[in-house]
Amino acid sequence: MQTRKLGNSNLEVSALGLGCMGMSFGYGTVSDETEMIALMHKAVDMGVTFFDTAEVYGPFTNEVLVGKALSPIRDKVVIATKFGWEANPADGGKWNALNSHPDHIRKVCDESLKRLNIDVIDLYYQHRVDLNVPIEDVAGAVKDLIAAGKVKHFGLSEAGAQTIRRAHAVQPVAALQSEYSLFFREPEQEIIPTLEELGIGFVPFSPLGKGFLTGKMDANTKFDSTDFRSTSPRLAPDALKSNHALVDVITDFGKKKNATPAQIALAWLLAKQPWIVPIPGTTKLNRLEENLGALNVELSPADVEALEAASSSVKLEGARYSPFHQQLVGR
């Protein structure tokens, strides 16, 4: 398995990680616990060392699942989780309230450690920027947790460039986790140059466009109401029909490389920068194997340029998030 370092940190991980959210949250179904533990163990056997979860996934159930699977083989893995949400009593207890106050961070860190059944969190992300708490206070709280030996590295998710700079000045940011793929290239404008300047790693989530870039979706695809993709304007039926032209471009390119669309999408990310580590999620062994096959797909600078030129000709329809979630990114 190829490994990569996240920016200037000494955090070395497998070149592809595994996003674990969908095993127990977000996609309308909850997978069998025994099967998911076996899948994570298989991923480790295949060289994956980087696993991603969050307290809000479930909430809580995904951290418990990851802990059951990985705490017995702790020395072989790097575990990332996230803080920054809490239930909103004013909205029936829904997890739609942000809270990154330092005392809350300290409290939920201990709770995550307990659920994960580990002594230290390798990478601790602020899940979304909380405008009610100065980012310097957030970074300071995580800095204290690092000093206390409860956290090794600090991360941010979907933060804007200025927020990244301010946080990094207090406690070095090891990685930013944000959406990035051939289906969503906005980070190229400001975020990626900022990360390169500061020596921060990039962990793209939804590197396969929430499954769209696998080529398995079309205008007839229906999402359950409990599947978060049902709220994405970019994945609505009319948008899926229009946006499929992008999948066609990637599929045609893949034929030249004897690779699937998913493998091309991941290989493109891997070719962009040596400090980019995508974390595609899956609940299926054949998809895990397919995704890891992207590591054997070599794209030259000319290949990347050609793929980007072709894909840029497709005008994508629809916003990636609902208005509620859109307001929480890039802050």
What secondary structure does DSSP assign to 224-289, as a single string? Answer: -TTBGGGG-GGGSHHHHHHHHHHHHHHHHHHHHHT--HHHHHHHHHHHH-TTB----B-S-HHHHH
Q: Pick out the chain residues at pLDDT < 70.
A: none
Token pair for 72? 């017995």
User: Do 232 and 205 touch, CB atoms closer than 8 A?
Assistant: no
What secondary structure does DSSP assign to 124-174, as a single string? Answer: EEESS--TTS-HHHHHHHHHHHHHTTSEEEEEEES--HHHHHHHHHHS-EE
Nearest Cα to Cα of residue 291 among 210, 187, 207, 216: 207
Q: Catalytic residue at 180?
A: no
Distance of CA 221 to the CA centre of its chain: 23
**Assigned domain for 52 exists:** yes
**pLDDT at residue 218, as a whole number:** 87
If one counts the domains in the chain, the total is: 1
**Catalytic residue (choose from 27, 57, 125, 180):** 57
Token pair for 153? 């590295």
User: Do 207 and 265 touch, CB atoms closer than 8 A?
Assistant: yes
Question: In Å, what is the CA distance from 8 to each residue of 121, 197, 202?
Answer: 19, 11, 11
**Assigned domain for 107 exists:** yes
Q: Omega into 59 within 30° of 0, i.e. cis?
A: yes
**Assigned domain for 325 exists:** no
User: Do 39 and 84 touch, CB atoms closer than 8 A?
Assistant: no
CA angle 238, 239, 241 (to 5 degrees): 65
The rounded distance, in Å, linking the Cα atoms of 234 and 315 is 12
Q: Which domain holds residue 178?
A: 3-211+269-297
3-state class (DSSP) for residue 29: coil
CATH of the domain at 273: 3.20.20.100
**Assigned domain for 198 exists:** yes
Token pair for 277? 């580590």
**Assigned domain for 226 exists:** no
User: What type of residue sits at position 174?
Assistant: A
**Assigned domain for 228 exists:** no
**Assigned domain for 260 exists:** no
Q: How many CA atoms lie within 13 A of 328 on its CB side?
A: 21
pTM of the model: 0.97
Nearest Cα to Cα of residue 164 among 142, 136, 145: 136
269 — phi, psi (to 5°)? -60, -45
**Assigned domain for 249 exists:** no
